[in-house]
Amino acid sequence: MAFKSEYLQKVYDKVCQRNKGEEEFLQAVKEVLESFEPVVEKRPDIVKAGIIDRLVEPERFIQFRVPWVDDNGNVQVNRGFRVQFNSAIGPYKGGLRFHPTVCASVIKFLGFEQIFKNSLTGLPIGGGKGGSDFDPKGKSDAEVMRFCQSFMTELSKHIGADTDVPAGDIGVGAREIGFMYGQYKRLRNEFTGVLTGKGLSYGGSLARTEATGYGLCYFTDEMLKSMKNESFKGKTVVISGSGNVAIYATQKATELGGKVVALSDSNGYIYDENGINLDVVKQIKEVERGRIKEYADRVPGSVYTEGKGIWSIKCDIALPCATQNELNGDDADMLIKNGVIAVAEGANMPSTPEAVEKFLAAGIMFGPAKAANAGGVATSALEMSQNSERLSWTFEEVDAKLKNIMINIFHNSYNASKEYGLEGNLVAGANIAGFAKVADAMMWQGVSY
């Protein structure tokens, strides 16, 4: 039996039976249910109301065909998804991912995690997620536009500023959001805040682009300070990925006094002992949409290595910012052996359960994704507020709110870990703190027959 509580075991068995073969989703549910052991002991009312039984089943799961025509005139067909997981505390909110690995399991794991993450922000947003197995890499702008328009033609039937507000994620940045927003507006004839991550000229929020990476560093800084009286100052930092989250985590970690020495993509990683030159990375990734390998051609003294292996680099702080399950038990062993003091997750579920266990057992400060990377969705919620008010806040205003939110998330997670006898275990603390508000809202709203 994986669980001490018979009740949780029963819930988990049913999830396994209903979602056969959906590995990522089952992994995410198991991790969350494990942290509910002390909750079900302390709160029989939650068990009686069937809150957890309801929580693990999405309110709605939409799958659709996305046909489009490529530049050669050939018809292509992709698969689109949106999971509307939980709306107890607000409209569904969560990104859209365009990547060949996207499938029902990945979307459901991300949507499930999003419930707790969104609740932790303290803002009124429910949990959702979506995407497609479409791969924007190597496609022309015109192809990406036709795909986005086709995708939105169906998705528009299911979303709305007060119903479900998608954002970006892997493979979905400002370009894709713009094409989708344009199509939504054409179809519905309304200018509303139905998507976040929009361009600044049509309702986007300042600091949204930077928010996840910045927020990750604000969270990590607070964790370092509160748990070990430490900071980024003088620390060597390794960050995986080289997309939106990795780039702005690099910027903030550097501003806070750290030295970021490595970044990666799905082909390999670069090491620069002098500290990453972010202008070069931005030019390659944001302007030219190139590969990280090109960094080594442009910056003397830096080295590119093909393949996995970024976690073998010695560092004090590790920030995985690429994708799920990119850091396994062996990687954790290497990081611990090399003296890592803190790991915080910018990506969603980047550490395998084995890796997380090793970090916690070794007393490494560990910031789980749903707490550490919540800055993106929090700022998306701030974009929603600005859209509703038809106002724009300054960069400094948004950044200050973001910082405050991340500090609160750390303390709420830490305090919950203490309250339930697991002091310092932020995995459990974040799950429990995120769950509390959702459970309460579900109680008040009753069961609909």
Neighbours of 157 (CB within 10 A): 12
Distance CA 63, CA 59 (A): 14
Of 113 and 221, which CB lies nearer to ligand NDP in the complex structure?
Answer: 113
Of 118 and 425, which CB lies nearer to ligand NDP in the complex structure?
Answer: 118
Among 168, 193, 367, 429, binds ligand NDP (CB under 6 A): 168
Of 153 and 323, which CB lies nearer to ligand NDP in the complex structure?
Answer: 323
- Site membership for ligand NDP, residue 270 (CB under 6 A): no
CA atoms within 13 A on the CB side of 224: 22
What residue is closest to ligand NDP based on CB? 243
Closest by Cα among 337, 146, 347 to 239: 347
Stretch that binds ligand NDP, among 45-53, 220-228, 322-330, 414-422 (CB under 6 A): 322-330
Neighbours of 444 (CB within 10 A): 8
- Site membership for ligand NDP, residue 178 (CB under 6 A): no
Among 78, 183, 212, 425, binds ligand NDP (CB under 6 A): 212
CA atoms within 13 A on the CB side of 357: 8
Among 40, 47, 224, 321, binds ligand NDP (CB under 6 A): 321
Shortest distance in whole angstroms from residue 223 CB to ligand NDP: 17
- Site membership for ligand NDP, residue 272 (CB under 6 A): no
Distance CA 235, CA 316 (A): 6
- Site membership for ligand NDP, residue 266 (CB under 6 A): yes
- Site membership for ligand NDP, residue 244 (CB under 6 A): yes
C-alpha torsion sign, points 425, 426, 427, 429: positive
Q: Are 150 and 76 in contact (CB under 8 A)?
A: no
Q: Are 366 and 360 in contact (CB under 8 A)?
A: yes
Q: How many residues bind ligand NDP (CB under 6 A)?
A: 23
Among 130, 178, 203, 241, binds ligand NDP (CB under 6 A): 241
- Site membership for ligand NDP, residue 352 (CB under 6 A): no
Distance CA 260, CA 253 (A): 7
Distance CA 236, CA 18 (A): 45
Q: Are 284 and 294 in contact (CB under 8 A)?
A: yes
Distance CA 64, CA 183 (A): 17
Shortest distance in whole angstroms from residue 363 CB to ligand NDP: 26
Stretch that binds ligand NDP, among 260-268, 294-302, 416-424, 429-437 (CB under 6 A): 260-268
Residue 138 per-residue DSSP state:
T
Among 32, 123, 170, 313, binds ligand NDP (CB under 6 A): 170
Stretch that binds ligand NDP, among 118-126, 176-184, 236-244, 407-415 (CB under 6 A): 236-244
- Site membership for ligand NDP, residue 276 (CB under 6 A): no
Among 31, 169, 230, 272, binds ligand NDP (CB under 6 A): 169
C-alpha torsion sign, points 14, 19, 24, 28: negative
- Site membership for ligand NDP, residue 319 (CB under 6 A): no
Among 105, 153, 205, 323, binds ligand NDP (CB under 6 A): 323
3-state SS, one letter per residue, for 35-50 = HCHHHHHHCHHHHHCC
Q: Residue 264: in which H helix or E strand, if any? A: strand 259-264
Residue 81: strand pairing partners: 63, 131
Shortest distance in whole angstroms from residue 183 CB to ligand NDP: 21
- Site membership for ligand NDP, residue 148 (CB under 6 A): no
Stretch that binds ligand NDP, among 165-173, 229-237, 397-405, 429-437 (CB under 6 A): 165-173
- Site membership for ligand NDP, residue 376 (CB under 6 A): yes
Among 245, 253, 336, 442, binds ligand NDP (CB under 6 A): 245
Q: Which amino acid is it at 434? A: G
Of 31 and 265, which CB lies nearer to ligand NDP in the complex structure?
Answer: 265
Distance CA 361, CA 336 (A): 11
Shortest distance in whole angstroms from residue 281 CB to ligand NDP: 10
Of 125 and 322, which CB lies nearer to ligand NDP in the complex structure?
Answer: 322
Q: Are 357 and 387 in contact (CB under 8 A)?
A: no
Of 226 and 266, which CB lies nearer to ligand NDP in the complex structure?
Answer: 266
Shortest distance in whole angstroms from residue 169 CB to ligand NDP: 5
Closest by Cα among 445, 247, 222, 236 to 339: 236
Catalytic residues: 129
Distance CA 345, CA 370 (A): 8
- Site membership for ligand NDP, residue 250 (CB under 6 A): no
Q: Which amino acid is it at 323? A: T
Closest by Cα among 150, 199, 151 to 173: 199
Q: What is the CA radius of gyration of the chain?
A: 21
Of 88 and 378, which CB lies nearer to ligand NDP in the complex structure?
Answer: 378
Residue ranges that bind ligand NDP, judged by CB under 6 A = 168-171, 212, 241-246, 265-267, 321-323, 326, 346-348, 373, 376
